[in-house]
Chain A
Amino acid sequence: MSLVLDALTWIWNNPAPFNRALIQHLVMSGASLLIALAVGLPLAVLIISRQTLATVSINVVNALRTLPSLVILAIMMPFMGIGLAPSIVALTILALPPILINAYVGLRDVDPDAVEAATGMGMSRSQILWKIRVPLAAPAMFAGLRTAAVQVLAGATLAPFIGGGGLGDFIVAGLGIMDMSRLLVGALTIAVLALLAEFILALTEKLLFAERTGA
């Protein structure tokens, strides 16, 4: 317990470096999530009615998913050097699979009877997409965001390896000088962030979709 206390004392005494690392971590994660959403959701809509493109995209993204986070970060360095930008790109690649796959499966597996009824009552293809498919797939899309958010917050821990900064800096520094309390400053904060993100997003999901699913 004294190690945890030491870690908290360190944060209390060094607010500036701690806040800088925390903000870096959040900016890096938030930016990559936003980019992944901006790419993944339109891509899911685009491929839903194009079978070949869908197969290719899903396979590529599934292949990306098998790569360890550290490998994705490492691959970025020869192309983009070090710093925040390559970290964001790497984290975006990490966030893309859950967002795209969830959105695609959600759009594809929408209740076929609802689509049949919508077609029969005279909705056009685009009306069926925007008024029926997208809203019905929204919970699946949100679940994808939830998975991606937790993965990115955790993945960002590895950003120090390519100079991306963030809370992982404390872990790397702590390991370097064998200071366990410094290591905990990073590790505990990241754990709390991940749990908090999961909790807040789960609550938001419940609030957004409770009415239609509740009895």
Chain B
Amino acid sequence: MITMNHVSKRFGDGSAAAVDDLSMVVPDGETVALVGPSGCGKTTTMRMINRLIEPTEGRIMVAGEDVRKVDPVQFRRRIGYVIQQVGLFSHMTIAQNIGAVPKLLGWDASKIKRRNEELIELVGLDTSMLSRYPRQLSGGQRQRVGVARALAADPPVLLMDEPFGAIDPIARTRLQNEFRAILRRVKKTVVMVTHDIDEAVRLGDRIAIMRAGKIVQYDTPDTILSRPVDGFVENFVGADRALKRLSLFEARNVMSAPDEAVAKAQVSGDTDLRDALAAMIAADADRVDVVDEGTKVGTLTREAVFAV
């Protein structure tokens, strides 16, 4: 659990607070996305957690420890850190990059090797990549290695700064979905900074919307999208928030028992409602069949979609 208690940060005396009396709790195993326009203090907030920036006031606790009372260098080895530009070490192989923290922690070579192989597969790359150098990889592959490197020593907490910002939009969505699947398996407490509300909705268990160093709303994606607290949040999440909200639900959780009629369109059980609605519109139908592995498992009606 990460607790921030009345935390403020001023860069220089008398200047406006970059982070202004901010309090929040990140429960264990949850992913929190800090979102907001540039300059809202989201990155500063995240960087105070692993003491890359020291708060001016307030207290930050990680797993019951006051971060100001621990040695920052040792402490950071227990926190995974992913940045937008990845920052792979170009003079080291992929294996040496991923094994960097385990090596700092003094693991023996065979344990590091086993862990490297495990991780490279977890992030969906071939073990033959381990002997390559970062220059030889594509941007998406490098970002995967960055995630593997952050997970290497199995840290309970992961900090991510715009982790998918430098990747082209198509690969980004795929990587985000894969990353969500990885997070379900490894159970980490994650604080992620992004300016992309779609990314926050896709990955966050909770979203903190920030403005001028303060949290404006801290809620689940569902609540943020259905009940924005003010005009700023409403504006920030966009006019299509009702559609964005539909993407939070899967067809299999909203469908009713299969009926006899054959609908004009089909979707799979894990299709989100936004895509299912698009399928209905495309087929000019008021219902779609939900089909998994060739068997019709349910019927999804437009009324059911509108009712969520």
Contacts and interface: CB of A to CB of B under 8 A. Distances in A.
A and B pair up: yes
Given A121-B77, A121-B81, A121-B149, A114 B90 contact: yes
B135 A214 contact: yes
A211 B89 contact: no
Interface stretch (B68-76, B116-124, B182-190, B264-272): B68-76
B285 to A, nearest CB: 50
B91 A212 contact: yes
**Size band of the B side of the interface?**
20 to 34
A117 B135 contact: no
Contacts of A215: 135-136
Interface residues of A, number: 23
A117 B80 CA distance: 10
Which secondary structure dominates chain B's binding surface?
mixed
Interface in A171-212: 211-212
A158 to B, nearest CB: 39
A120 B76 contact: yes
B83 A117 contact: yes
Contacts of B135: 212-215
Interface string A149-178: 000000000000000000000000000000
Contact of B81 (A115, A120, A136): A120
Contacts of A211: 133
A119 B52 contact: yes
A116 B83 contact: yes
A122 B83 contact: no
A136 B87 CA distance: 12
Contact of A121 (B86, B90, B101): B101
B90 A122 contact: no
B23 interface: no
A114 B89 CA distance: 6
B49 to A, nearest CB: 11
B52 A212 contact: no
A135 B91 CA distance: 7
A120 B76 CA distance: 6
A120 B79 CA distance: 8
A118 B89 contact: yes
B88 interface: yes
A127 interface: yes
Contacts of A212: 90-91, 133, 135
**Max count, chain B CB within 10 A of own CB: residue among A115, A118, A127, A212:** A212
Nearest to B159: A120
Contacts of A214: 135-136
A109 interface: no
Interface string B138-157: 00000000100110000000
A119 B76 CA distance: 8
Contacts of B80: 121
B91 A113 contact: no
B308 interface: no
Nearest to B104: A122
B85 interface: yes
Given A113-B83, A117-B81, A117-B83, A122 B89 contact: no
Contacts of B87: 111, 113-118
Given A212-B91, A212-B133, A215-B136, A122 B76 contact: yes
Interface string B157-185: 00100000000000000000000000000
A122 B52 CA distance: 10
B194 interface: no
A46 interface: no
B100 interface: yes
Interface in A93-147: 111, 113-124, 127, 132, 135-136, 138
Contact of A127 (B50, B52, B104, B146): B104
B163 to A, nearest CB: 12
Contact of A117 (B86, B91, B136): B86
Contacts of A114: 87-90
Nearest to B75: A122
A114 B52 CA distance: 14
Nearest to A117: B87
A120 B133 contact: no
Contacts of B150: 121
Nearest to A115: B87
Interface of B: 50, 52, 73-81, 83, 85-91, 100-101, 104, 133, 135-136, 146, 149-150, 159
5 contacts: A117-B88, A121-B150, A123-B100, A132-B89, A215-B135
